[in-house]
A = this chain, B = another copy of it.
Amino acid sequence: MASDIRLKEQLPNLTDRIVRSYKEIGTINHLGHSPLPSAEVISSVLDDLREIIFPGYRRRQGLHHGNVAYYVGSLIDGLHDKLTAQLGRALQHEARVQIEDEDDIDEDVDYEAKGQAIAVTFLESLPRLREILATDVDAAYDGDPACKSHDEIVFCYPGLQAITIYRLAHELYNLGVPFIPRMMTELAHHETGIDIHPGAQIGNYFFIDHGTGVVIGETCEIGERVKLYQGVTLGALSFAKDSDGNLVRGMKRHPTIEDGVVIYASATVLGGKTTIGHDSVIGSSVWLTKSVAPHTTVILEKPKLIMRADIKDDEDSVSYDI
């Protein structure tokens, strides 16, 4: 390559400047610490879990009741090892983040042993999670006229994909695992456009149709048989601050949605004290910050739309006047 060699000679100096900046700005490096969980391994853990929950759809076809036990047994064994290591890393990382003085780090804590205990408890929950996810698949079939079969849902519905990852992440969240549940749900967010915080609580028979743009906040409580469409936000209304002016983390800031509620596309429901009563219907594009009684339909008043025949004019610009 016909390169200007004088320009290349600047590069070592630049490297020095960059490396010096790692000391000057330390908030966005991760140097010299215990390793973080690996995004790649967590992604493969999720793939393995989906193979176990929904066998025969993706990686391994030609499974039948005769050979599936070997396949699952091998996946479970691999998951045990991967999760033990990753959970150990997450626990160790959190301990160090919370300790301000490096001298206070207790080197004798066996984070991997703690990780293993959580990993096995988590894996033991898989049959129960499978039962719950089967109800979510039923909810999708019952709720979507465009759906032709249960297989179609498992195979390609992004809503089910996001809910599956959420339920797995939520299980780990409840077991006190730091960091990894959020990694999992952000992976689901990346894949489906659906953003569910792992701390949210969501009941059975949950269906999200289309899904792009859905946001479900950390302290949401959602009942059974709830159905959401694309662009629905279940979000926070106000952010309380303490006397130092810092955000208070952990308060209930997101709404409660009771059983049997349907929330149509682009509706927004905000606030920790906002409750949508059971069997209510929230119409498309509605914006709510107050509670609603059960068995209520909430829709926008017929929007006063301005409709006028277009007037062609001589100007060189085409615009619509507001």
Q: Is the CB of B239 within 8 A of A145?
A: yes
In the assembly, how many copies of this chain are there? 3
CB distance from A13 to the nearest CB of B (A): 9
Q: Is the CB of B39 within 8 A of A69?
A: no
Q: Is the CB of A195 within 8 A of B215?
A: no
Q: A270 interface residue, CB < 8 Å from B?
A: yes
Q: CB-nearest residue of chain B relative to A195?
A: B210
- A65 CA to B20 CA, complexed, in Å: 10
Q: Is the CB of B298 within 8 A of A307?
A: yes
Which A residues from 267 to 299 make CB contacts under 8 A with B?
Answer: 268, 270, 279-281, 283-290, 292-293, 295-299
Q: Is the CB of A195 within 8 A of B212?
A: yes
Report, as a range, how many residues of chain A touch the other chain.
35 or more
A243 partner residues in chain B, CB cutoff 8 A: 316
Q: A107 interface residue, CB < 8 Å from B?
A: no
A27 partner residues in chain B, CB cutoff 8 A: 134, 137-138, 150
Q: A109 interface residue, CB < 8 Å from B?
A: no
A305 partner residues in chain B, CB cutoff 8 A: 286, 288, 298-301
Q: Is the CB of B72 within 8 A of A19?
A: yes
Q: A45 interface residue, CB < 8 Å from B?
A: no
Given contacts A4-B116, A217-B146, contact A190 B133 (CB under 8 A): no
Q: Is the CB of A182 within 8 A of B152?
A: yes
Q: Is the CB of A10 within 8 A of B124?
A: yes
Residue in B31, B56, B189, B306 whose beta carbon sits within 8 Å of that of A297 in the complex: B306
Q: CB-nearest residue of chain B relative to A306?
A: B299
Q: Is the CB of A97 within 8 A of B151?
A: yes
Q: Is the CB of A237 within 8 A of B179?
A: no
- A22 CA to B126 CA, complexed, in Å: 12
- A217 CA to B243 CA, complexed, in Å: 38
Given contacts A193-B212, A231-B231, contact A151 B93 (CB under 8 A): yes
Q: Is the CB of A130 within 8 A of B25?
A: yes
Q: Is the CB of A53 within 8 A of B28?
A: yes
Q: Is the CB of A178 within 8 A of B148?
A: yes
Q: Is the CB of B268 within 8 A of A149?
A: no
A80 partner residues in chain B, CB cutoff 8 A: 8, 11
CB distance from A193 to the nearest CB of B (A): 5
Interface string of A147-190 (1 = CB under 8 A from B): 11111101111100000000000000000001100110010011
- A-B contacts, 12 listed (Cβ < 8 Å): A3-B112, A25-B130, A28-B137, A30-B151, A31-B55, A36-B57, A145-B248, A145-B253, A146-B197, A213-B231, A300-B306, A301-B305
